[in-house]
């Protein structure tokens, strides 16, 4: 990994990025990214998103105080300028582009940026929800993505460098979680084993790729790759390797999820209900305290309206998503599952957001159709 030594080099690198992101096509930008060695503190940052609208219109819609300039070339790229920071507000500029995937409505926002510039891009995406729908990975999907990447390393050695996760705050504290960030140099298998023992739920896993001489690994990584549950991937190099394994995989997961969550509102189905079930691996709603915890969590669902119909000893809550007017009836009539019954309107974005929230704040489970057995 290189480091920019002075302001002149920074200016030059900035000009290089401007030229690269000014490419007319996705193929040309990709060619630049494949060869790019990204100097610290920059990272090649990607976020997989779902969008079934015109990207240019979505980006240009209701431009806020941030100044957005969208390219007119075939490649959808944009420059955004805005304020960041709380104590020391200052202006930054970020460049990003959307690279297509093999799935029609799934695209990858890509940027070479420092942390704060990337935050500006992410903030823009949050403001464009639900037109731009974030993709979320379940724990299992994140682990499978990391494992897939570890099998395609172009002969490089691989170690986990860092994890961020949530785990139980002590054995007695059944319902309280703490966030952990740990640095390590262990193998993926060891980290996964430890995580299973500690019942950790990963937020991100950072891998290091190392050149090897026989069985001996170079001490400095040739590239670093961080994969997060919110479908963000950051690399310092080896773009092609990461794209072809991790990013494509995340795009496929996202496309499949969003497709399965689509067309579930009663209106668009001629009033035939299409409920979903989250099936947990154990009876997580057996005790009244579990049901109360679940209702409490749903009660804090952001940007929503709620109505608790029943809370003891089973749960029945009505939830309206105020982003797009979707609404759901949520039932727990079985200690091991939750039924989500989409109401008059239910977009795939809102189902995706609700399920991710339940996974993130309560428990993860398998999503399937809720039908007569």
Cβ(242)–Cβ(250) below 8 Å:
no
The minimum distance between CB 274 and other proteins, in angstroms, equals 9
Q: Choose between 186 and 334: whose C-beta lies nearer to other proteins.
A: 334
Question: What is the secondary structure of 154-215 as a DSSP string?
Answer: TT-EEEEEEEEEEEESSSS-TT-EEEEEEEEEE-HHHHHHHHHHTT-EEEEEEEEEE-EETT
Measured from the CB atom, the residue of 114 and 310 that comes closer to other proteins is: 310
Specify the residue, 51 or 330, whose C-beta has the smaller distance to other proteins: 330
> Rounded to an integer, what distance in angstroms lies between the CA atom of residue 220 and that of residue 212?
11
Residues in the chain: 373
Residue 107 near residue 78 (C-beta atoms within 8 A): no
Asked if 95 and 111 touch (Cβ cutoff 8 Å), the reply is: yes
Distance CA 68, CA 70 (A): 6
Nearest residue (CB) to other proteins, 117 versus 290 = 290
For the bound state, the minimum distance from the C-beta of residue 351 to other proteins, rounded and expressed in Å, comes to 15
Give residues in contact with other proteins (CB under 8 A). 266-267, 271, 273, 275, 283, 285-288, 291, 299, 305-310, 312-314, 316, 318-322, 324-327, 329, 331-335, 339, 341, 343-345, 370-373
Least gap, CB of 310 to other proteins (angstroms): 6
Identity of the residue, 111 or 327, whose beta carbon is nearer to other proteins in the bound complex: 327
Q: How far is the CB of 278 from other proteins (least distance, A)?
A: 14
Judged by beta carbon, residue 40 or residue 307, the one nearer other proteins is 307
Q: What is the CA radius of gyration of the chain?
A: 22
Nearer to other proteins, 215 or 373 (CB): 373
Whole-angstrom distance, CA of residue 173 vs CA of residue 362: 14
Residue at token pair 């749903």: 298
Burial annotation 258-272 (CB, 10 A radius, 16+ → b, else e): bebbbebbbeeeeee
Q: How far is the CB of 332 from other proteins (least distance, A)?
A: 8
Between 19 and 344, whose beta carbon lies closer to other proteins? Answer: 344
Please state the closest distance from residue 319 (CB atom) to other proteins, in A. 7
Residue closer to other proteins by CB (options 68, 308) is 308
Q: Which two tokens stand for residue 268?
A: 């668009």
Residue 357 Cβ, how far from other proteins at the closest point, in Å?
A: 17
Q: Nearest approach, Cβ of 371 to other proteins (angstroms)?
A: 6
Q: At what angle do helices 248-261 and 139-150 cross, to 10 degrees?
A: 150
Helices in the chain by DSSP H: which ranges? 7-21, 26-35, 55-60, 115-127, 139-150, 188-197, 239-242, 248-261, 288-299, 348-361
CB of 365 to other proteins, least distance (A): 15
Structure tokens at 153: 């390393």
């Amino acid at each position: 990994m290189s480091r920019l030594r002075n302001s002149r080099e920074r200016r030059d690198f900035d000009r290089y990025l401007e030229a690269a992101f000014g490419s007319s096509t996705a193929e040309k930008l990709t060619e630049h990214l494949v060869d790019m060695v990204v100097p610290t503190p920059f990272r090649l940052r990607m976020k997989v998103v779902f969008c079934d609208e015109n990207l240019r219109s979505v980006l240009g819609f209701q431009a806020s105080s941030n100044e957005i300039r969208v390219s007119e070339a075939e490649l959808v790229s944009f420059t955004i300028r805005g304020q960041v920071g709380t104590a020391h507000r200052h202006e930054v500029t970020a460049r990003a582009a959307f690279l297509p995937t093999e799935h029609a409505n799934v695209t990858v926002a890509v940027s070479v940026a420092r942390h704060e510039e990337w935050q500006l891009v992410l903030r823009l995406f949050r403001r464009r929800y639900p037109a731009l729908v974030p993709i979320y990975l379940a724990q299992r999907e994140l682990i499978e993505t990391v494992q897939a990447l570890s099998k395609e390393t172009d002969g490089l050695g691989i170690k986990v460098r860092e994890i961020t996760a949530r785990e139980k705050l002590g054995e007695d504290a059944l319902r309280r979680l703490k966030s952990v960030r740990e640095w390590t140099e262990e193998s993926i298998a060891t980290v996964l084993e430890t995580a299973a023992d500690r019942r950790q739920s990963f937020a991100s896993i950072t891998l290091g790729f190392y050149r090897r001489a026989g069985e001996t690994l170079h001490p400095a990584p040739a590239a670093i790759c961080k994969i997060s549950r919110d479908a963000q991937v950051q690399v310092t190099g080896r773009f092609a390797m990461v794209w072809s394994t991790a990013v494509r995989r995340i795009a496929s997961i996202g496309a499949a999820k969003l497709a399965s969550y689509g067309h579930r509102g009663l209106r668009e189905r001629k009033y035939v209900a299409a409920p979903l079930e989250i099936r947990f691996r154990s009876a997580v709603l057996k005790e009244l305290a579990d049901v109360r915890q679940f209702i409490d969590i749903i009660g804090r669902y952001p940007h929503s309206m709620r109505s608790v119909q029943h809370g003891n000893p089973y749960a029945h809550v009505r939830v309206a998503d105020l982003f797009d007017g979707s609404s759901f009836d949520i039932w727990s009539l079985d200690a091991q599952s939750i039924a989500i019954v989409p109401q008059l309107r239910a977009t795939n974005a809102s189902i995706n957001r609700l399920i991710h929230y339940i996974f993130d704040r309560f428990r993860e489970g398998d999503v399937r159709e809720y039908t007569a057995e």
